[in-house]
Amino acid sequence: MDMAAAAAEVSTPPSLVKMTEKALDEMPQWSWQSVVDAVRQCRRLLPTADATGVFDRVVGALVSHVAVSPGDATPTSSSPESSAFRFSCDTKSSCLSARCTSRTWWFEDLAVVLGPGMVERVAGALLARGTDHGVVSRFLFYYLKCRVAGAATADDKRAMLEAAIAAMSGLDRSSVSCRGLFGILRISSPLKLPTSCHDSLVAMIGAKLDHATLDNLLVPAPPGTTSSLYDVTLVLRFLDAFLHHAAATGARGETPRLKKVGKLVDLYLAEVAPDPSLRPAMFVELATALPAAARDCHDALYRAIDVYFQVHTRLTEEEKMRICKGINYEKLSPECCKHLARNAGFPTRAAVQALASQHTVLKSLLRGGGPDEHLRPVSAAKHRAGGEDHDDLVAAGGQVVLYAGRLDLSLESQNLRSLLDGMHWRVMELEKVCSRMKTQMSKMKAARRATGGGGGAAAGRRAASRSLPRMCS
């Protein structure tokens, strides 16, 4: 029986299905180049390879090799660390360290063989296997750098960009290069990406807006747009996405990022303010898009509005007041406040509000706290010899607060430096008057001793009274 069974087994033809399954099971043990060749063949046999599950098995073997990171594997000549890799260069998230280089040796081989429909699947498999998000991000940018420029048609470019954006949307925001995202935006603009894909790209850029530069934001308006020279609507969408992301992740630690974006928006406002085609409603929306915490000082915003008023000379008073609502007058420096008060281009109501707010700030500053070791009031000790009237006058002068140390305690006091300097001058004048009063009182005593009589004393007092300054009389 055994010999018969053996003879029957020898005579039975081999099963192609079993041989294929065995080969697929052994694929993780194949050499790297053999797996890459299998990926290339799957690309030609899609969608059949996908429907039969072969592609998934090949991707699994591919990821197994990538995860091993063999020590003898070295980056190719066109690795992302080379000087030619500029697509996603960023100071934080795109420069490959020596530690990461050993994990990126596979970039070039896969960038060549993966098609648009495969790259997202491979990226997902890499993430599921625990590959670092930063490495996957750099691979996707490298893939676009290698493939988009050489794509035969606009449809091919669009497919590659869609696949890369879809894969990046699942990555940690900190691992994606802001500069690289703006690079994708730049090359995708003429390709008209699907709305959902473009929205995803805008959301990713918005989440990283604190890493952007002014040059990044100066995107020309789409062809046919007459409302502005730059794409202000796109920048507003970035700001919307940034605020939404900040709210979703919580307020903790977001204030420094918000202030960076505030400075960036002020720079952008200064660039778009001279645009004669920029509508007032759009300018107002841009100037008021960020919350109050985004700006410690509103001088830059005031200057941008001033330029806008100079260019748009036909604005009504109501339109100007709507624009001025974006200014917090209490956060203006005294210099800007004075300039606004004399600026004929601004509405009179705005000038009045600015001066009133500065008065309120000064008032609250002077009432804010008592003297301490950092605060140095004017001393009355120098003028003790003048009698009770003299001491009272000096004490009244001391109520005019002159605290040099206060100038460094808060931003508000720094902004009010010039006003406090004026108060300093006033106190100095009081000191001069008190000195003169002391001299006159000494003369009165001398005259009293010289005359030796009551009538003479009364005459001396009348003479001294006539000679005293009006402030002290």
Ramachandran region of residue 114, left (φ > 0), alpha (ψ -120 to 50) or beta? beta
pLDDT band at 99 (very low <50, low <70, confident <90, very high): very low
Global pTM reads 0.68
What pLDDT, on a 0 to 100 scale, did the predictor assign at position 84? 32
Q: Name the more confident of 140 and 473.
A: 140
Q: Is the distance from CB of 142 to CB of 110 less than 8 angstroms?
A: no
Distance CA 132, CA 143 (A): 17
The DSSP-derived string for 303-354 is HHHHHHHHH-TT--HHHHHHHHTT--GGGS-HHHHHHHHH-TTS-HHHHHHH
What's the mean per-residue pLDDT of the chain? Answer: 76
pLDDT tens track for 296-326: 999 999 999 999 999 999 999 999 999 999 9
Length of the chain: 473
Work out the average pLDDT over 367-373. 46
Burial of 345 (0-12, 13-18, 19+ CB in 10 A): middle
The 10s digit of each residue's pLDDT in 214-257 is 999 999 998 888 888 999 999 999 999 999 998 887 755 578 99
The pLDDT of residue 261 is above 90 = yes
Residue 14 vs residues 2, 11, 25, 27: alpha-carbon distances, Å: 20, 9, 17, 20
Higher pLDDT, 73 or 103: 103
Beta carbons of 347 and 321 less than 8 angstroms apart: yes
The pair of three-digit structure tokens given for residue 422, joined into one six-digit string? 């004026």
pLDDT value at residue 383: 40
Per-residue pLDDT of 7-46, as tens digits, reads: 555 556 667 667 777 777 778 788 899 889 988 888 887 7
Degrees, nearest 5: CA angle 331-332-336: 175
Span between the terminal Cα atoms of the chain, in Å: 140
